[in-house]
Amino acid sequence: MVALAALPRRTLPRRTLPRRTLRLPAAKVRIRNVYTAVALLVLLVVLAWALVPELFTGYDPNAGVPADKFAPPSVDHLFGTDQLGRDIFARVVFGTRSAVLTALFAVAIGLLVGGLIGLIAGFFGRTSDAVLGRLIDILLAIPGFLLAVIVVVSMGFATVNAAIAVGISSIAVFGRLIRSEVLRVKNQAFVESSYLIGGSRFTVLFAHVLPNAYRSVLALAVLQFGLSIISISGLAFLGYGNPPPSPDWGLLVAEGKDFLYRYPWLVYAPGLVMVASVISLNQLSKSIGRGN
């Protein structure tokens, strides 16, 4: 009681207020962490680059000015220029849309297929769990990047196929998490109560299991979004994505690597943009997982 009395008074009545009003999830989002705020800021910039790249740069990403080649970063060329005199900032900005869309596509595949597998395995149990659980274990034993390489090779080299490949290689991770989340929720008392008052399997699934599992699934999806950017750009780096003039982030680094010694910004500018985006996604994923 002493400890309670020592608390600032304002915090006490607030907790006792009944909260019956329906609140949208967005209303619950309150950013308490400085790092998360910075991460969101970075992600907003990246999103804006993806949506309207024209607003951020006056340069054409594919038109080079030979006289300006290998210009170091300056006010004119924020990230400098490359061997053909193309503005690297423009190339990074115009490459954002493809990076975001392909990563989104990859996550969608992993989430949908993996989610379905995990949901069926966890929710229906027994034979389906034995079979699908084994499938997840088997997929987990294959190194993700290697699986992505073999998929993209058998589909043909293109950025879209690279995204599909990365998506397929993330099915197992999503399947494992969703299966275990469903199992965790399924065995709780409120699920049993729902069955007892006459809830059907699908009521239980949609009213209880999914709402209780979504937070950790969302956290994983955001994390995988960042990892997909890395894997897709890795495939592009090896040349399994779209052919050169396209400003894919991985390709930008690959093209710049031959000039690393004398013109390091060709590698560092696109590389650091990638790191900043992915680390922001990691931070966001962490704070979604923790719930703040």
Partner 1 sequence: MQQIVSPTAKYVASRIGQAILAVLGVYVVVFVIVTVLPGDPVSSHLRNPEFNYSEDEIEQLLSYYHLDRSLWEQLGVALARLSHGDFGLSLSANRPVTAVLWDGIPSTLQLAGTAFVLATILAFGIAIAAFYLPPRFGGGLLRAFPSLFLSMPNFFIGLIVIDVFSFQLGFFRINDYQSLNALIYPALTLAIPASAPIAQVFITALDGARAEQYATVAISKGITRFRLLSRHLLPNAALPTLTIAAIIVGDLVGGSIITEAIFGRTGVGSIIELAATEQDVPVLQAAVTLAAVLFLAINLVVDLVYPLLDPRLRQVAATR
Candidates 154, 189, 196, 198; binder of partner 1 (CB under 8 A) is: 154
Do residues 78 and 89 touch, judged by C-beta distance below 8 A?
A: yes
Task: Check residue 279 for interaction with partner 1 (CB under 8 A).
Answer: yes
Task: Check residue 72 for interaction with partner 1 (CB under 8 A).
Answer: no
Task: Check residue 97 for interaction with partner 1 (CB under 8 A).
Answer: no
Task: Check residue 243 for interaction with partner 1 (CB under 8 A).
Answer: no
Candidates 137, 200, 203, 245; binder of partner 1 (CB under 8 A) is: 137
Candidates 151, 162, 182, 269; binder of partner 1 (CB under 8 A) is: 151
Stretch that binds partner 1, among 24-32, 110-118, 188-196, 271-279 (CB under 8 A): 271-279
Do residues 178 and 115 touch, judged by C-beta distance below 8 A?
A: yes
Burial class of 166 by CB neighbour count within 10 A (0 to 12, 13 to 18, 19+) = buried
Stretch that binds partner 1, among 8-16, 189-197, 207-215, 256-264 (CB under 8 A): 256-264
Count Cα atoms within 13 angstroms, Cβ side, for 125: 6
Residues 6+ apart with CB under 8 A from 150: none
Give the Cβ contact number of residue 153 at 10 Å: 12
One-letter amino acid of 194:
S
Q: Which is nearer to partner 1, 101 or 113 (CB)?
A: 113
Looking at the DSSP assignment, which residues form a beta bridge with residue 81?
A: 87
Count Cα atoms within 13 angstroms, Cβ side, for 154: 8
Candidates 12, 55, 130, 138; binder of partner 1 (CB under 8 A) is: 138
Which whole-number Å values give the CA distances from 238 to 99, 241, 261, 274, in the listed order?
16, 8, 20, 17
Candidates 29, 63, 76, 143; binder of partner 1 (CB under 8 A) is: 143
Task: Check residue 127 for interaction with partner 1 (CB under 8 A).
Answer: no
Instruction: Name the residues that contact partner 1, by CB under 8 A.
Output: 134-135, 137-139, 141-147, 149-156, 168, 226-227, 230, 233-234, 237-240, 250, 253-254, 257, 260-261, 264, 267, 271, 274-275, 278-279, 281-283, 286
